[in-house]
């Protein structure tokens, strides 16, 4: 069974990428920024709705100041595989994150490198039982993030790999039961908050995992910091006692957290040790640089001193405003999608929105299925009411009314 066909992807997407680049909608180099306004290559200024810093913490003065507070004796970075040396500021960061999240936290340069390091260890069974690794079946939600889907060919050398329709609980139950019949341990792979809109039914999934005795791996990159009293994320905010034994959570130190990097939260010290020893990126790559580690430590303080809950409330107000103006009734997410369908039409509509002073993302295959091109709007706490109203006015002026009131299923198509 094939899990990837790069030639097919290229053949069915390249002309749309070229058009989007030529129209100034992708691969754009901005010349500067002022809050949510950015300077385009022609020096025009537009309001961007593409930055995933949902709480605006990347511009918080305390985080900026901390990122500049390098210790001269440490230098900028210590370029050494972390299986040899780690560094005290990073160890301190991981301990603070472990306390904040209620598990054992390990940081990586990004969420993508986190997934690259951890998912193969799960597929091998080593992270589930290093003394007696079981046979594993990795069950992917159809819309699980590309950084995880990309690993399917590698995971298939270690385990069975299958996929189910998005949020299809009946299909998940069937796959888990099939795994049990074949003596396999099932692991469900999904997102907490999906990058193209929509949410995982987390509590239902976790209840099912306890009922049927399977593991869950959730990428909570888009949920980190924007959910929970202390920014624990969309998954942990629904769990009263920290991370259970059958759950793995990848978290993000950029996006809502406001800095850079990613990481994994695991339930046990044994699993932590396995990742630090055999995780691909951990074993063969360097740590976060010192400016990022310092910035992250500052962000943790903001998570604990009441700043993050205040920004969460502001973000929810902005999303509620957008939803009300667009006549949407959806669960909270900072990501809103407008399904267009035809790729050429989506690019043209995105260009028209840009001409009105607003930059949103146009997305098409392979990011979403063919003929399901969409416009992606990322709403942040530091958007002003005027900016949100301006975007909605721009959308309503160019989109047919039938496209404006879209339910979650269509938005996630």
From 3.90.1150.10, 2.40.10.120, 3.10.310.30, 3.90.226.10, which CATH number describes the 6-52+334-411 domain? Answer: 3.90.1150.10
- How sure is the predictor about 412, in pLDDT bands with cuts at 50, 70 and 90? very low
The encoded tokens of residue 110 equal 């990004």
| pLDDT at residue number 413 | 32
| pLDDT at residue number 74 | 77
The encoded tokens of residue 159 equal 């385990």
Model pTM score: 0.92
| pLDDT at residue number 402 | 61
| pLDDT at residue number 133 | 95
CATH number for region 62-304: 3.40.640.10
Mean pLDDT of 249-266: 96
Q: What are the DSSP calls for 312-344, one per residue?
A: HHHHHHHHHHHHHHHT------SEEEEEEESHH
Where in the chain is CATH 3.90.1150.10? 6-52+334-411
Q: State how far the Cα of 159 lies from the Cα of 184, in Å rounded to an integer.
A: 9
Neighbours of 202 (CB within 10 A): 22
Average predicted confidence (pLDDT) for the chain: 91
- How sure is the predictor about 99, in pLDDT bands with cuts at 50, 70 and 90? very high
Q: What percent of the chain has a predicted confidence (pLDDT) above 70?
A: 96
pLDDT, greater one: 198 or 308:
308
Q: State how far the Cα of 326 lies from the Cα of 8, in Å rounded to an integer.
A: 36
Where in the chain is CATH 3.40.640.10? 62-304
- From 88-102, 241-255, 361-375, the region with the lowest mean pLDDT: 361-375
């Amino acid at each position: 069974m094939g899990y990837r066909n790069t030639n097919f992807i290229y053949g069915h997407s390249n002309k749309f990428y070229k058009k989007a680049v030529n129209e100034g909608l992708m691969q754009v180099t901005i010349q500067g920024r002022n809050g949510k306004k950015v300077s385009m290559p022609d020096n025009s200024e537009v309001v961007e709705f593409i930055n995933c810093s949902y709480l605006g913490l990347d511009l918080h003065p305390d985080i900026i100041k901390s990122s500049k507070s390098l210790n001269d004796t440490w230098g900028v970075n210590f370029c050494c595989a972390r299986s040899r040396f780690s560094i005290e500021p990073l160890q301190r960061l991981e301990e603070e994150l472990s306390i904040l999240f209620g598990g054992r936290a390990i940081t990586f340069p990004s969420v993508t490198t986190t997934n690259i390091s951890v998912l193969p260890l799960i597929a091998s069974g080593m992270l589930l039982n290093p003394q007696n690794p079981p046979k594993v079946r990795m069950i992917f939600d159809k819309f699980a993030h590309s950084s995880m889907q990309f690993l399917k060919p590698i995971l298939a050398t270690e385990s069975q790999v299958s996929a189910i329709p998005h949020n299809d609980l009946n299909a998940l139950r069937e796959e888990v039961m099939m795994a049990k019949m074949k003596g396999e341990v099932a692991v469900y792979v999904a997102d907490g908050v999906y990058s193209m809109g929509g949410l995982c039914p987390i509590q239902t999934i976790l209840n099912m995992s306890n009922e049927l005795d399977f593991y869950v791996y959730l990428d909570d990159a888009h949920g980190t910091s924007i959910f929970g009293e202390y920014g624990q994320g969309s998954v942990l905010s629904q769990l009263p006692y920290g991370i259970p034994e059958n759950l793995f959570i990848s978290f993000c130190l950029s996006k809502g957290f406001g800095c850079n990097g990613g990481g994994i939260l695991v339930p046990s010290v044994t699993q932590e040790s396995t990742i630090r020893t055999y995780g691909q990126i951990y074993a063969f790559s360097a740590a976060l640089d010192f400016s990022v580690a310092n910035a992250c430590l500052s962000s943790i303080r903001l998570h604990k001193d009441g700043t993050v809950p205040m920004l969460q409330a502001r973000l929810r107000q902005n999303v509620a405003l957008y939803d009300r103006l667009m006549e949407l009734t959806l669960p909270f997410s900072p990501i809103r999608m407008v399904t267009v369908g035809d790729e050429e039409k989506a690019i043209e509509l995105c260009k028209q929105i840009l001409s009105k002073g607003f930059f949103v993302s146009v997305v098409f295959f392979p990011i979403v299925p063919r003929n399901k091109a969409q416009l992606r709007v990322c709403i942040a706490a530091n958007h002003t009411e005027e900016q949100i109203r301006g975007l909605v006015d721009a959308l309503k002026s160019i989109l047919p009314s039938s496209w404006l009131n879209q339910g979650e299923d269509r938005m996630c198509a």
